[in-house]
Structure 1
Amino acid sequence: MNLIRRSLSVAHLAPSRPDFFRPRVITAALILISSVVSPLPATAAQTHRASVRGAVTDSAKAVLSGAKIRLIDQETGEIRETTSGREGEFAVPSLPPGIYRLEAESTGHKKFIQLLTVHVNQEIRVNVALEVGAITEEVTVIAPRAQLKKDTPAIGNVIANREIVGLPLDGRNFLDLSLLVTGAVPAAPGSAGSVRGDFAFNVNGAREDSNNFLLDGVYNVDPKLNTIAVKPPVDAVREFEMLTSTYDASFGRNAGAQVNTVLKSGSNSFHGTAYEFFRNAALDARNFFAPADESAPRYQRNQFGFSMGGPIARNRTFFFADYEGTRVREGITRVTNVPTLEERRGDFSHSLFPAPINPFTQQPFPGGVIPDQFQNPIGRAIAALYPAPNRSTPLRNFVSSPALRDRNDDFDVRVDHMMGSASTLAFRYSFTDRSLFEPFSSAGFSSVPGFGTDIPRRAQNAMISETHIFSPHLVNDARLAFNRVAAGVFQENLGTSLNNKVGLPELSTNPRDFGLSFTTIDGFSPLGDEINNPQHSVTNTYQVLDHASYARGRHLVKFGFDFRAVQQNAFRDVESRGFLTFSSRAYTGNALADLLLGLPALTGGARLDNPQHLRTKSYNFYGHDDYRIAHNLTLSFGVRYEYNTPGVDAEDRANIYDATTQSLVRVGSNGVPRSGYDSDLNNWAPRVGLAWTIRDSTVLRAGYGIYYDQSALATSEGLYFNAPFFDLKIFFPVQGLPPLTLSDPFPSFFPIPVPSSALAFQRDLRTPYVQQWSLGIQQQLGRNRILEVSYVGSKGTKLIASRDINQPAPSPAPFNPRPVLQFADITEIESRASSSYNSLQATFQQRLDHGLSFLSSYTWSKSIDDASNFFSSAGDPNFPQDSLNPAAERGRSNFDVRHRLSFSYSYDIPIGKGHTLIGERGLLSSLLSGWQTYGIVTLQSGRPFTIALLPDIDNSNTGRSSLGFGANDRPNVVGSASVSHRGPDQWFNTAAFAIPAFGSFGNAGRNILDGPGFYNVNASLVKNTTVKERFNIQFRAEAFNLFNHPNFDLPDNFVGSPTFGKILSAQSPRHIQFGLKLLF
């Protein structure tokens, strides 16, 4: 174990740096990029920066040209200047988010002053009306906090800092706030991006791996599954914007949400926080399904850290740094069934399971007891690995609550330096490290302690940028970025050969694969380590990008490029310990008795030599113009081109199935592309939209665009799972031959081998794309409130999915051969899936006014597809029942939520200092001053799920993939599934489903039933106490699921299961958390 951990720590370190990562070369490269790009007639704006544009008029509304415009950053003192053009138009592009003082001057007119709050990627329109008078006179205008979007068709919202640091977040993950935006829903449970406490979401019908994450304008993605790489602490985030539809051509890579996060930076004054949040089980409610006779499992969570920023040299150099640590210990309860002490000795006289049959005489063993001389010592040693029962409940006689351990350490460092009035250099480094131990693996694996999982993950993201102001109209931003994610999943018994301890041979000689072969025994918890581990990957992404903006007259033109090179070095030793299956339908009629006799019904395992060295590159170019046709109408149009090279192995050590020769062929030879499929070069993505200001308080917006979607890198890992590099063999008893034995469960020679599985890529695999469209109206209600109602739709085309191209048609015949006899399943990865989404979205928002701010978001939608992801999720495997007719899978998406309402608020209670009630002085005023309350209310209708069968009824090998791909058969629908009173004991009418005739598919569709809805209230109460003016001590009490409403998981969806139609689990009950924070 220690040797492996040392090797992992070395793997986390960056490789030797190429020359272009030396500091002097970086600065020179950035200046060179800026100088090369700057002569372009129109170049692009930074995606994380903002712009202020408007028109200058006099009191008679005549345009004023030549007016001096000045924007002063109130935090750093940076000044940006321009003049109004001949039509009075002005624009100041490429502004970092912040608070600015806008000044406008013209001879013979009073000086105009307005304070503006500029958010990430925002285009603010300011109409400057100058009054006649002396320039020494000033007119100060108070800007509304809620700004209409008068120059962009993009749908989305900015989550400001007050909400990020104030709203109650279970786990303090700022990404949870993405669900406050219309069109966003949590990912389906059990999806690839939502396991192990991670957070994933779907937006406007797009898949969960279709979201793009930006940090300070650079790539922040773990490309393996397209999840976020670095998650900065809440106290480090200045704000983030989530764009969900019809955004402009400067955004790309993915077709879902663009999550645009900006970290805090230093200013001319020191500011910061120090805090700790604490939670344990003492005040928590019990889970709805917690055993009544068991004590609550242990829980303790500590989250602590600091943030601090300020000047290094006033008005010139600034710094910001933060750190956060999280420590969690949580008892994870599992209830399962284990053999009694009598049963593991071979005595089934008092067992609930059938008395075993002697397989040699076909008569029951006398008294239900297997004599010692019949028992296999290896089988008995495996059975002895079970713990003894500790409950008397039939078939649920063992409960345990071993500890989950989770340790996180995160920090960020940022330095900004003004090299002059026209150039700013910025550097940022972000780091996150997680060490997680899960005492139980995922569902379907062992439910007894001893076979848990270690999950280390370390992510790093570094960026250096140079922003150059060539003129008041032209600003360029050049950036270099490096992103690294090192992640692994290792079995608890790493390096320890339990196989040798019980007498089983090891399939692999590599110590990292040691453990216990995964052993399933009907009626009891499985034993052994998860079959997909160990695995580890180090993924490096190098990024070079240049964005600039050119503002002149009525045009704000954007143009830029983005290049990324991705390297993934990995291993994934699937089935490297082998597996053993003992069935109640094999020898004795009792699976445990078969184990004691040493008679497996099925064995198998993989011998592999498939290290992964994946390489891919991405080339992106775009141009966009926001053209103000008239004073109240802006036309937004542009185009983006994206080319993502197919993933290849650096050494071409991979085979792929070739349909022409019906054999495995080496990639990069005989006309087979190195990736297994041809490149897709035709990825042009036009964008067009408009914003029409009908009157000052009303804006009509519409947009349409095509958005390409870069698939997760895990899809390309299919290269590595074909023989001989991945040689998976399966063995089963053959009549007339000696049975399989535990002394040789993985024979090197077997007279009748099972054909191997194979993986293939559609030769003309295309880049998926999504068409987005929207039409909406914004209405300003007062100075600080905005109501927006929009129709938002999308259509996904050529989405990635898979199917078995070697599946025969269903048949009742005893022998139903596959079309290609020398192979079992042949899973082909294709771009064949499609999706459709339509919605009505409404937002009502109030920016801070009289101490109150709120955001209410409602979405009424329907999402349809024939595969909701490349990977499976709870309730849907995303693989066709009938691979010959994948169109029959068309149905509601896994994440289809018809109705979702969220309401978040923050409120400064108007009592005490600064308010008329109670007054300014006295003990009572001190006690009652400074109170705030925050909350998030969520209501959501249920997501769909699919009814499935446990056995293979159609006789066409549905779901029979030794590589893990596949689906279950579905039943016939013979009645209504509705019940008058739905509850955990009966969620639907199970009699509505029947098992079809052997050799046929059922007529039940995919995702035809609704699961439980979701209702939750998170609330916090905050007390602020001022100490010596600059210091504020904040006490927080937070409740998650305040009213302890049971939010049930999906019911058991398998026909024939003893719990079919019942709900067996629920999400978290009420948790209470306390926090103490120092702000200065």
Structure 2
Amino acid sequence: MRYFRSLIIGLERSRSLLLVAGMIAGFAAQAWPQATSSISGVVADSSGAAVPRASLTVKNTETAMSRNVDTNDAGLYRVLSLPVGHYEVKAEREGFKTGVRSGISLVVGQEAVVNFSLEVGELMQQVTVTGEAPLVNTTTAETAGLVGERAVKDLPLNGRSFDNLITLNAGTINFSPMHTPGSNYTGGLGNRFSISGRRPDANLFLLNGVEYGGNGSIATSPGSVSRQLLGIDAVREFNVLKDNYSAEYGKRSGGQINIVTMSGTNQLHGSVFEFMRNSALDARNFFDQKGIPPFQRNNFGASVGGPIVKDQTFLFGNYEGFRQRLGLSHVAFVPDDNARRGLLPDPSRPGQLIDVPLAPGVAPYLNLWPVANGPSAGGGTALFFSNPKQRIREEFGTVRFDHTLFGKDSLYGVYTIDDGESLTPGPDSVFETSLIVRSQVLSLTAGHVFSPSLINTFSFGFSRALFSSSDIAVIDIPPSLAYLQGQQVGRLSIGTIGGSGGGGLTLAGANAPIGSVRNFFTYTDGLQITKGSHLIAAGVWFGRLQENSEKNLNIGRVTFATLTDLLQGRAQVFAASPLANPIGLRSLQGAWYIQDTIKARPNLTINAGLRHEFTNGWNEVAGRFGNYDNGPDGVILSQPYVGSQMFTKNNAKRLFGPRVGLAWDPFSDGKMAIRAGFGMYYSLIDDLAFWSGKNPPFNFQVQLQNTTFPIPQITPATALSLPGALVSPLGVQPDIDTPVLISYNLRMEREITPNLAVSASYVGFHGYNDLVLNDFNTTFPTICSAPQNNCPAGLADGTKYFPATRRRNPTIGSAKNTASLGSTYYNGLQMEVTRRLSQGITFRANYTWSKSMDVGSSLAALANNATTILDPENLLLDRGLSGFDIRNRFSLSGSYELPFGQGKPLLGGLRPAFEKLAGGWQLNFILGLQGGLPFSPQLGFNHSRNGNTSQPDRPSLNPSF
């Protein structure tokens, strides 16, 4: 078992100064929910009897916004839809002293419980208590983890990507290291997280209540050209809903990450910053053979917020720039000098060479690899070391406007943009990749208070993600080497997985240019109603998705089994997409929900809700869509059906998701809670453009097997006339089902002191209809009954094997598509200790012990797990540990205010200037310890002969297989 550990320590002088020291040590291994909160509680007298018709005033101390509400006959009150911030609550009733609670910090998605015990006396008399709401949640069944304002601003982050703080929550891991580089950016350009065992593809990021999607293919998580999420100074806090969240939340079944931006207040506030990193401070790693590569990173910006009209209108703005020049340590496997002349090592005579005659036209392709400058790697290959420089430019900006009118109406709007470009040289130093990324999010929200018990909120949201990638040759390459007329030369792939010696070579040639623009419009309206012991939330949500994609061109890829085959011009597989029209996919999505929070008893709250989600499927705007179906015998048909609809049947019309839970305070003192919940969640299919546009007649991919090389240059008109050429479909299961997840949890929380709480949770779920990649046109298998079928020696009777290369439908090639055949199981124990800031110390520690099993872990390319089903007739062969399964994980984070300066034990009696300089320092830290990720050994060739050449086989314990 491999273990990963990381430690980040930062020393700050107050929250307004910059990080001055840091260290990392690591070993690799709804209606749409609004960004608001609420306050509820009970007003009683000193004997514990309810005080009906008491008047409550809730005031935001940052903006002076206030809200009034009265208690009911049972002394209960609720104040709904409050912006996050700091509050003061006042309770008044004739015959009692006025009670005041100050210092209450509301965070996104929280229902803070603030109870009052009023003393008999004059109304003019005031009793003030300062302190935050209880740490224990006694009102909802959901499990969530807040990353608050102090953590966002203070905790040290290498790279300042605030989403890295998601892993401070129990049950969360960053799965990004297992994303395969250079895989057409499947999975997006940012971090990818598994939250309580869910797929990284199932998460939903919300920025001020609006979907914050990613760039690339299957990109459900936001990202950027730098692979960082800039704008940490624009983020106030975010909440990670992990399990059994209410019916207000939906669309995806994973974690719901609700991000809230900073806003203006009555006090002018802001920051100016510059973070710098330079290779002069770096140590040399093992692969830096020629010294430390250059590295310069500058991260700079400013923010400002304040009032336009005091107590009424506020403005906040933030800008952040990112510049990076990074020297890369590349090691490539290239043909050695002898191989370029047709001389390869003789395996039967060590040290001797054999002559391998070069096929006509092969020699120019060998120049796609640079000449070796390192030692021999065996098998006719040698190493090539290089330190090219990557260049990145990125700009980020946010503007937020808030306005309150007469205390009844509120309006806010937020616009965020991230724009960047990069140029990254490849390991072969022949091509470099140009990447352009732009993300925009706009949210407009209007709220109206009809009465303290009836509030309506309407929101409009718009998000746009632009992505474009292309490879650029840095040397002159003859146009005659291209596989497709008028394009660059495509890919050359030889040998073992990853191309690592022994006859394997680093990939050469260019990737096809790809790009997309994804627009998502959302319209939402929600009501919150309080009636007696009920809080009813109901609403609707509609979304309109537009994705214009140019991801269908494949300029060609030739695969060879060995370097010898390349020299002799014997290609194993050639695939290209000579015809590539843009695809414009459209989809309408919608949902309605109702959620009731019932105060069944003073110490028992029941949550019950229902959410109905639906879509109209996927439609191509100009009717340029083709997809393949299976015939009655289960074999894929030879011709596609053509039109505007991707599916033959829409199975996403009636997606009903019940939610139920309870929160019980067994001792009725707010210090202990037992919470449990159950829910059904769906992941709407809304990002399949990459897998759905390479089918005839408007687009198609052609495939040749066991052909000669070089390939004659082809055009759309000549591609299918090549001897042995077959169309190779790439589509989506025509009657695909929506992924479903059934979740359940049990949680116990206990307050140890007013500032210290512990919790333990059991979390489990079962998911089905998960999306996986599958080849529906592999060869026919045979069941061994030796010797009648001439089974390979050593195979036992009953063993399945593939004796021939004839596919199920021989008129087409491999037929990879996205299918709802996967399933998932997860069980986990999550424990947490939280200490709120007291005596200068705050920390959060958690431990997770869990196990995740599945059939298919992701549609995105993974470094530790195959992405395509091995045998379509036996899915259990692909059942195993999830690619993101980590059995043990521990996280610790916090801050310690150093005891220097005014009001502290040390250096408190100095002159004012020295005392101010000595004070305000704090030590911030993050520690992560976790077990290693599982992996599947894979072969670099199609040893099973099932015809699925794009999916590596797994080795068998039987050497004859």
2:557 is aligned to 579
Separation in 1 of the partners of 2:174 and 2:370? 38
2:637 is aligned to 663
Matched, 1:726 2:723: no
- SS of the aligned residue for 1:189 comes to helix
1:713 is aligned to 687
After TM superposition, list the pairs within 5 Å mapping 1:42-121 onto structure 2. Answer: 46-115=33-102, 116-121=104-109
For residue 743 of structure 1, report the CA deviation from its aligned partner. Answer: 5.9
1:821 is aligned to 810
Kept in 1: contact 2:580–2:694 (CA 8 A):
no
**Cα gap change, 1:160 to 1:683, in 2 (>3 Å):** same
Separation in 2 of the partners of 1:945 and 1:479? 44
2:932 is aligned to 942
1:547 is aligned to 526
Separation in 2 of the partners of 1:71 and 1:154? 25
For residue 565 of structure 1, report the CA deviation from its aligned partner. Answer: 0.3
Kept in 1: contact 2:944–2:953 (CA 8 A):
no
For residue 748 of structure 1, report the CA deviation from its aligned partner. Answer: 4.7
**Cα gap change, 1:314 to 1:570, in 2 (>3 Å):** same
For residue 337 of structure 1, report the CA deviation from its aligned partner. Answer: 3.2
Kept in 2: contact 1:93–1:551 (CA 8 A):
no
1:1054 is aligned to none
After TM superposition, list the pairs within 5 Å mapping 1:472-487 onto structure 2. Answer: 472-487=452-467
Kept in 2: contact 1:515–1:528 (CA 8 A):
no
Matched, 1:325 2:325: no
2:676 is aligned to 702
Pairwise CA RMSD of aligned residues? 2.8
**Cα gap change, 1:58 to 1:454, in 2 (>3 Å):** same
After TM superposition, list the pairs within 5 Å mapping 1:398-547 onto structure 2. Answer: 398-440=384-426, 447-493=427-473, 498-500=477-479, 503-505=480-482, 507-509=484-486, 514-520=487-493, 523=503, 525-526=505-506, 528-531=508-511, 533-547=512-526
2:214 is aligned to 222
2:775 is aligned to 804
Pick from 184, 187, 191: which aligns with 2:179? 191
1:257 is aligned to 255
For residue 816 of structure 1, report the CA deviation from its aligned partner. Answer: 4.4
Matched, 1:636 2:644: no
**Cα gap change, 1:920 to 1:432, in 2 (>3 Å):** farther
- SS of the aligned residue for 2:365 comes to helix
Separation in 1 of the partners of 2:125 and 2:701? 84
- Which letter maps to 2:549? A
Separation in 2 of the partners of 1:527 and 1:613? 31
- Which letter maps to 1:550? I
Matched, 1:616 2:587: yes
Matched, 1:885 2:874: yes
Matched, 1:997 2:960: yes
2:757 is aligned to 786
Kept in 2: contact 1:50–1:93 (CA 8 A):
yes
2:541 is aligned to 562
**Cα gap change, 1:526 to 1:434, in 2 (>3 Å):** same
TM-score (norm 1): 0.78
1:1076 is aligned to none
For residue 489 of structure 1, report the CA deviation from its aligned partner. Answer: 1.4
For residue 852 of structure 1, report the CA deviation from its aligned partner. Answer: 1.0
Separation in 2 of the partners of 1:369 and 1:765? 50
Pick from 270, 273, 287: which aligns with 1:272? 270
Separation in 2 of the partners of 1:732 and 1:967? 16
Pick from 576, 600, 605: which aligns with 1:605? 576
2:240 is aligned to 242
2:5 is aligned to none
Kept in 1: contact 2:368–2:508 (CA 8 A):
no
For residues 612-659 of structure 1, the C-alpha deviation after alignment (integer angstroms, 9 at most, x for no partner) is 101111101111111101111101111111112211211221221121
- SS of the aligned residue for 1:781 comes to strand
- SS of the aligned residue for 1:787 comes to strand
For residue 390 of structure 1, report the CA deviation from its aligned partner. Answer: 2.3
For residues 992-1017 of structure 1, the C-alpha deviation after alignment (integer angstroms, 9 at most, x for no partner) is xxx5324xxxxxxxxxxxxxxxxxxx
**Cα gap change, 1:814 to 1:968, in 2 (>3 Å):** closer
For residue 808 of structure 1, report the CA deviation from its aligned partner. Answer: 3.3
Separation in 2 of the partners of 1:601 and 1:60? 86
2:119 is aligned to 131
For residue 60 of structure 1, report the CA deviation from its aligned partner. Answer: 1.6
2:137 is aligned to 149
1:687 is aligned to 659
For residues 389-414 of structure 1, the C-alpha deviation after alignment (integer angstroms, 9 at most, x for no partner) is 32345444320011112222101001
Separation in 1 of the partners of 2:655 and 2:179? 28
Separation in 2 of the partners of 1:759 and 1:590? 27
- SS of the aligned residue for 1:694 comes to coil
Separation in 2 of the partners of 1:64 and 1:799? 52
Pick from 904, 911, 936: which aligns with 1:915? 904
Separation in 2 of the partners of 1:650 and 1:722? 16
2:7 is aligned to none
- SS of the aligned residue for 2:466 comes to strand
1:290 is aligned to 287
Separation in 1 of the partners of 2:557 and 2:75? 76
For residues 1024-1079 of structure 1, the C-alpha deviation after alignment (integer angstroms, 9 at most, x for no partner) is xxxxxxxxxxxxxxxxxxxxxxxxxxxxxxxxxxxxxxxxxxxxxxxxxxxxxxxx
2:797 is aligned to none
For residues 356-401 of structure 1, the C-alpha deviation after alignment (integer angstroms, 9 at most, x for no partner) is 9xxxxxxx99x9597xxx885x544333444333234544432001
2:862 is aligned to 873
For residues 198-222 of structure 1, the C-alpha deviation after alignment (integer angstroms, 9 at most, x for no partner) is 2010112211011111111222223
Which stretch of structure 1 is more off in the superposition, 392-401 or 329-338?
A: 392-401
1:968 is aligned to 953
- SS of the aligned residue for 2:517 comes to strand
2:24 is aligned to none
Separation in 2 of the partners of 1:305 and 1:574? 39
Separation in 2 of the partners of 1:126 and 1:188? 41
Separation in 2 of the partners of 1:601 and 1:888? 26
- Which letter maps to 1:411? G
For residues 113-168 of structure 1, the C-alpha deviation after alignment (integer angstroms, 9 at most, x for no partner) is 10111111101111111101111111011224652111001101111111111111
Separation in 1 of the partners of 2:31 and 2:290? 62
Separation in 2 of the partners of 1:712 and 1:678? 13
Q: Percent identity?
A: 30
Pick from 172, 197, 201: which aligns with 2:193? 201
Separation in 2 of the partners of 1:626 and 1:743? 69
1:862 is aligned to 851
Separation in 2 of the partners of 1:634 and 1:815? 64
- Which letter maps to 2:138? K
For residue 609 of structure 1, report the CA deviation from its aligned partner. Answer: 3.0
For residue 732 of structure 1, report the CA deviation from its aligned partner. Answer: 5.3
Separation in 2 of the partners of 1:914 and 1:189? 45
Count of residue pairs the alignment pairs up: 883
- Which letter maps to 2:430? G
Separation in 1 of the partners of 2:335 and 2:952? 31
For residue 583 of structure 1, report the CA deviation from its aligned partner. Answer: 5.5
- Which letter maps to 1:683? L
For residue 537 of structure 1, report the CA deviation from its aligned partner. Answer: 0.5
For residue 239 of structure 1, report the CA deviation from its aligned partner. Answer: 0.7
Kept in 2: contact 1:949–1:971 (CA 8 A):
no
**Cα gap change, 1:102 to 1:718, in 2 (>3 Å):** same
Separation in 2 of the partners of 1:521 and 1:82? 72
Separation in 2 of the partners of 1:286 and 1:849? 42
**Cα gap change, 1:579 to 1:258, in 2 (>3 Å):** closer
Separation in 2 of the partners of 1:718 and 1:453? 22
Kept in 2: contact 1:339–1:524 (CA 8 A):
no
Show structure 1 runs of 5+ residues with no match.
1-42, 357-363, 441-446, 973-994, 999-1080
For residue 870 of structure 1, report the CA deviation from its aligned partner. Answer: 2.2
Kept in 1: contact 2:394–2:421 (CA 8 A):
yes
